[in-house]
Structure 1
Amino acid sequence: MAEGREVQWVEVTEGQAGQRVDNFLMTRLKGAPRSLVYRIVRKGEVRVNKKRVKADSRLCVGDVVRIPPLKLAPREAVREVSDNLRNLLAGSVLLEGRDWMVINKPSGLAVHGGSGVKIGLIEALRQVREDLDFLELVHRLDRDTSGCLLLAKSREALLTLNTSLKQHQMSKQYLALVAGRWPVRRDFVSARLDRFDAGNGERRVRVDANGKVARTRFAVREAFAGATLMEAEPVTGRTHQIRVHAAHAAHPLLGDDKYGSRQGQHLARQWGLSRLFLHASSLTFAEPTSGKPVKIRAPLDDTLEAVLHQARRTK
């Protein structure tokens, strides 16, 4: 647990250079929630070379970071990684390079802790991989979405991969099971998306003419009685983009408790689906050091395979 009774003075190493202050602290303070890290930075309790800093300030080799003593309340501490989660994550690594790794993220695991989530994938991996000085998400997946998730093991790799992502040089394909028979000729959905407060503190997304531009390519993979297995490729990277675009096209995803339909809920129960059927099935990116293309596929878990088996029996 990240709890100390004395001030720590930590010198930034070459492998940690370029990190944001908040991410550096999250790595050092493995029991501290993100909200606490932001609070101690905001209050000036964290200093770099004896000067106040912001959470997004970048660190340089040789910088000396002052970390204040922390005493975490039990409800505030990040949970230690359980043996089950440790084993699950260890077995979920699809491929690993010198300065990156791809995880087949399990459904139901948030990528970050916070908002009632005691531990997320990144916090858990930092505990599991204590050999790494640097570990950051290159992109995110929704909590209920499974599949390919790319992480950087160095600041240089993170910057390179983030640039590739912003310049649309990284390709991500998803498998989604949607309600109804998707029209074969409809291979593209373009609808602006806007985030809003659903009224209970929950953030959702809707199609709105004043929202941000969002485009998704769709292709039919397999048709069933009452549902269609789709391949979806987001051209843009908006929150809940595939889910909202599919619902906008009148074919919401099965197992979607936010944007789903009664038809989809009925089929999900009938076929034994208790989670969102959305899986990041493949990821293609340029290796950050050599520039060579890397393509990785993540197999469906047993739960989703069983659902497809049930769906095929309805043909």
Structure 2
Amino acid sequence: MTAPGGTGLRVGPIGLGCMGMSGTYGPADWDRSVATIHRALDLGVTLFDTADIYGRGHNEVLLGRALHGRRDGVQIATKFGIDRSLGRDGQWARGEAGYVRASCDASLLRLGVDEIDLYYVHRPPSDVEVEETIGAMAELVDAGKVRHLGVSEFDAGLLQRAHAVHPIAVMQSEYSLWTREVEATAPVLADLGIGLVAFSPLGRGFLTGELDRTALTPTDFRARNARFVGAAGDANEALAAEVRRIATRLGASPAQVAISWVYAQRQRLGIEIVAIPGTTNPDNVERNVAALGVDLDAEARDALAPLADLVHGERYGVG
């Protein structure tokens, strides 16, 4: 994807989300995670997504080590702005200029690089106006520490304000068959020439049809998420079953159908989209990349279109 709008950001057609490699979905496995990153590189993946809060810095260190000696042609994206120094229950969104500068320097150190290709503010700041945050990020560009700026989970108004301070290359938001709120912001993305980086295109694994919800460990946040547990989780199995049915007919995997659907929305929404499915399995990287070759016919598109209206539970709700 070449993000429009004149920012010059160029990324491959699909990326790799690395969050799950640092304990979000259960125990971390360093060697397996490095093998997954290396497999992605071998398959031509160039966009790797991390954040300073993933594993409290573990994820940035892991990604930096895995990319050592293979930095050329790779785009490293990381994020700042969620402060969990008081624990997950006490987290808050920060964006004051000093915090932005300190966060960037810490990320550069953990990653072991001189420049971050794509630097996101992870959530809209709650302590200062967004103009201060983006202004500090723009100074990082001027200082040669950051190449391109991004935002994550902004609404249309905040996105316009951010872009007025400095060109925003992309916005990252959750986007999948069962999470489509970002479509309300698509007209502004299109108007400003900002691309969409879609995280969790597989519904955090639910839409693959391979997830055993009874086997989720206590450290896996999905074990408490409203879409995965109880009656809501049981009801949502019907969505996974429909994706699986369509995949069987098309001779693809459910994951490939889910990813292909995300890409199929580019023309409808009028924006560039790059998905960053996450995995800790090298074989899954190969499967996900192959999704780019899956074409959904009209029957599949018609069957998948209403699934978001059938979802039970909030995406960040507690079950």
Q: What is the TM-score when the length of structure 1 is the normalising length?
A: 0.29
The structure whose Rg is larger is 1
Higher fraction of helix: 2
TM-score norm. by structure 2 comes to 0.29
Tell me: higher relative CO, structure 1 or 2? Use CA pairs within 8 A at least 6 residues apart: 2
